[in-house]
Amino acid sequence: MDTWETIRIRCRRDGEKIKVVARELGLAPNTVRKYLRQNGPPKRAARPRARLLDRYATHIDELIRSTPKVTAVRVGSYLRQNVDSELNVDERTLREYVAARRAVLVPREAFVRAVYAPGDQSQFDFSPMSVLLAGVLVVVQLFVVRLSYSGRFMARASMRCDQPSLFAGLLAGFMAFGGLTRTSIFDNASTAVKRILRGRTRAENEAFTAFRGGLALHVEFAAPAKGNEKGGVEGVHGYIEDNFFRPMPSYADLDELNAALVVFCDASLAREHTTHHETIGDRFAREQPMLQALPTVLPRACVTKYARVNKFSEVCFERDWYSVPTRWAHRNAVIEVYEQRLRIVVDTEVVAEHQRGNGKGDRFLDPRHYVELLAHKHRAAENALVLSDGRIPDVLRDLFDRYRQNDPRTATKRWTQVLTLLSDMPVAELAQVVTHALARGTDDPDAIALMIEQKRAPAPSLAIRTSALPTAARHEAPVVNLAAYATALLIESAA
């Protein structure tokens, strides 16, 4: 009865949100909604009948008191082994009974409300959210970092919650705040922690340690399964989910989504802080000068991996394959993995850069990486994977078909002669020149190369330098003596 009355007062009269009331009362949101739909007080439940497991209550209570987290399956095994070998009870009944007895015997955990000083602490974490990107339902990973004193937060969506996304989110967050807090709270995710040791000691991931060291950020880790230790950022995730991702938004791409999130985070500065009854913007104005300055040189938001370039001039990362120029085949390479792209370095030289894949066994092959090899192995061009599946424009494939119809013996050689031009120009530009050449009635590789040179040649200057002409050809402007005209004009005006 008291719970029903409290729910109706806080939700109907005071206008509090259902999720907030449910969280503080320890109820499910659906239970709160059910009480709100009832016009009258709830009826007293009938006294339950004696259940099968009541006769074993003493043994079950002893197990729960000695081991509060004992599972219902373990309780059933204990009863069959030590009390009644013929006990026949289904798992659901056993779980419900053990949960009811645990609620009576084990008191619920109490908490202490915390107070933070300006610039003292921040919290950050990931949470999955659903959104439509280009009309496709996608589950993105929402990264949020929140200042504990002011409540100011920054949210950023990524396609994954790995280390590059974590590093990019931290950089974006603290750059938006204009400084660092003295400490920051994170959970025990594998992106930061390799192993949980005794107490608060953690064996950190080397890449995470190097990044936070370069950022001069002190991180403390929450206790396992203790989400209340970073309850501020957990609450912000719920707030963003309710006010930004419901109803489900639709954006063209991830960049547009993140731009909208920036506007949403900035608009939250005008929102009133739920505890201190002043705006988040006012509290942030007091906290921002207390933040520690960011390092002059910020660390890169990337992770370094090592790989071997195979005989097909490809390196593998997370089950995806990426091409490099063929002259670097059979070499050791370093992969710099960023949030949405990666770079491949061989001998301190960046040899390739690709859009990062999703780990589904795709191959990201650049035709420009293979033109040097195809110039020597032109017969392999017809069935080359790098020149198939839409990796080159249709006009280049049509050019090969035209060569093959005219002379099949020299078709691949002439075609690779044109493809060699990709070594110093983009694929789209070459396709444009080939289209122009075919429109003018020529498919000769030398003519296509000449058209590219003419296109890139600077326009001739039409200005004539007189210093380069012979003296006889120079034209000098005549000098007119206006003294006589000026004297006559003065005489006329005096008269």
CA dihedral of 178, 179, 184, 189, whole degrees rounded to 10: 60
Query: pLDDT value at position 459?
Result: 62
Half-sphere exposure of residue 101, counting CA atoms within 13 Å on the CB side? 26
- What does the mean pLDDT of the chain come to? 86
CA distance linking residue 304 with residue 240, whole number of Å: 33
CA dihedral of 68, 70, 75, 81, whole degrees rounded to 10: -110
* Mean pLDDT of the 221-243 span: 85
Which tens digit of pLDDT belongs to each residue from 16-37? Answer: 888 888 888 888 888 888 888 8
CA distance linking residue 378 with residue 177, whole number of Å: 56
pTM for the complete prediction? 0.71
Choose the weakest-confidence range: 311-325, 403-417, 460-474: 460-474
> Is 60 exceeded by the pLDDT of residue 473?
no
> Is 80 exceeded by the pLDDT of residue 345?
yes
Query: pLDDT value at position 47?
Result: 47
Choose the weakest-confidence range: 5-9, 133-137, 167-171, 225-229: 225-229
Q: Which two tokens stand for residue 460?
A: 């001739």
Choose the weakest-confidence range: 64-78, 96-110, 250-264, 313-327: 96-110
Query: pLDDT value at position 309?
Result: 95
Q: Which domains does the chain have, with CATH numbers?
A: 2-105 (no CATH), 121-290 (3.30.420.10), 303-364 (no CATH), 370-456 (no CATH)
Q: Which H or E run includes 259?
A: helix 254-267
* Mean pLDDT of the 50-59 span: 81
Which band of pLDDT confidence, cut at 50, 70 and 90, is reported for residue 329? very high
Query: pLDDT value at position 382?
Result: 85
CA distance linking residue 198 with residue 398, whole number of Å: 67
Q: State the CB neighbour count (10 A cutoff) for residue 170.
A: 26
Task: Find residue 137's DSSP bridge partners.
Answer: 132
Q: Find out whether 135 and 244 touch, Cβ atoms under 8 Å.
A: no
Report angle CA 362, 368, 373 to the nearest 5 degrees: 100
What is the Cα 235 distance to its own chain's centre? 21
Helices 29-37 and 18-25 cross at an angle (nearest 10°) of 110
CA distance linking residue 118 with residue 291, whole number of Å: 8
CA distance linking residue 272 with residue 270, whole number of Å: 7
> Is 60 exceeded by the pLDDT of residue 121?
yes
Taken in order 133, 137, 138, 139, is the CA torsion positive or negative? positive
CA distance linking residue 383 with residue 493, whole number of Å: 95
Query: pLDDT value at position 272?
Result: 86
Which band of pLDDT confidence, cut at 50, 70 and 90, is reported for residue 468? low
